[in-house]
Amino acid sequence: MRVVFALFDTLNRRSLGCYGGTTVKTPNFDRLSRRSVTFDQHWVGSLPCMPARREIMTGRHNFLHRSWGPLEPFDHAFPEILGQQRGVYCHLATDHAHYWEDGGATYHTRYDSAELIRGQEADAWKGIVEPDAEKWAQQYHPLQYSIARRHKNRINMANREYITKPEDYPAAQTFSAGIGFIERNIAADNWFLQIETFDPHEPFDAPVPYRDDYPTDYRGPTLDYPNYGPVKETPAEVAEMRANYAATLAHCDHQLGRLLDLFDRHDMWKDTVLVLGTDHGLLLGEQEMWGKLVMPVYNEVAHIPLMIWHP
């Protein structure tokens, strides 16, 4: 048996057509849903990113023990269990930068191999000692502009200087890496592949063709990186932020379609499990808030999608 686990970050259930969403075109999520078991009552456990991943990897509630942190030496992670007890080869293809930061650096080491794609959000990837501050100040909205050293906005603006073509985007590279693993091992059995992209997590930076599909009346500088907390933006700015999330999700949908096409091409449906999930949703101005660190944990954050195909 082979298993592919497609894990997206911040995938809003309400945005997917297969869950009743109408604001974003998601033909490939819907395509998988028609074939798979699509769960209606799937909810988060621990939040946010790394606590959720500790639960995914261990099957144990993280919030009963601690908050954000690494896998502990006493944790039994499923890639290790699969390898040690069943001889399953486990591979990770991801652009999720928390895996190589403090508090997350013991997750990807539990796989037999891992392909790590750089450049998402505040991944300190491309170093620019003397940035063009004037250009960036004109290019980006004040809410997401800073040239302070190690500030997430400076890091993100630097990374974007090197992400210009659709194939440069980390989500595209991540799915290419996962597809490459499958194609190299298409004749092999007994493997597990996790294709994990940070998208559609903020910043909602999608290639131009996808952004063009979700126009708004906003005419200001780039605005796609919400600050968590109460909504302070104008209605036009809120609409722009939501449109950029939609564009990023549409880009994710295209990447998923590449994987589904591969399943079709090699008739993998007959012998390969495909699981699709996420860690949590995100408030996009609902409840007059941005983000996910809000109490109580509203359904927009807590009620999440899950699809499983099993031959």
Confidence of residue 103 (pLDDT cuts 50, 70, 90): confident
Query: Tokens in use for 266?
Result: 């090699």
Q: Is residue 178 part of a domain?
A: yes
> How far is Cα 235 from Cα 253, in angstroms, rounded to an integer?
27
Kindly tell me if the per-residue pLDDT of 65 is higher than 90. Answer: no
| Residue 24: predicted pLDDT | 98
Q: Is residue 115 part of a domain?
A: yes
Within a domain: 133: no
Count of structural domains within the chain: 1
Written as six digits, the tokens of 94 are 């991801």
Query: How does pLDDT run across 251-278, given as a tens digit for each residue?
Result: 999 999 999 999 999 999 999 999 999 9
**Degrees to nearest 5, angle at CA 205 with 200 and 206:** 85
Average pLDDT over residues 160-184: 98
The answer to whether residue 129 is domain-embedded is no
The residue-averaged pLDDT of 52-81 equals: 94
* 259 belongs to a structural domain: yes
The predicted pLDDT at position 123 comes to 97
* pTM for the model: 0.97
Tokens of 145: 């502009």
Looking at residue 64, its pLDDT comes to 86
- Half-sphere exposure of 246 toward its Cβ, with a 13 Å CA cutoff? 20
Percentage, residues of the chain above pLDDT 70: 100
Mean pLDDT of all residues belonging to the chain: 97
**CATH number, domain with residue 20:** 3.40.720.10
Specify the pLDDT at position 9. 99
Decide if 287 is inside a domain: yes
Structural domain of residue 14, as residue ranges? 2-122+166-309
- Strand 37-38: give its sheet, edge to edge: 37-38, 307-309, 272-278, 2-8, 191-197, 89-94, 113-116
Q: Considering the domain boundaries, does residue 142 fall inside one? A: no
Q: Tens digit of pLDDT for each residue in 274-310?
A: 999 999 999 999 999 999 988 899 999 999 999 999 9
DSSP states of 61-91 as a string?
-STTT-SS-PPPTT---HHHHHHHHH--EEE
Domain membership of residue 151 (yes or no) is: no
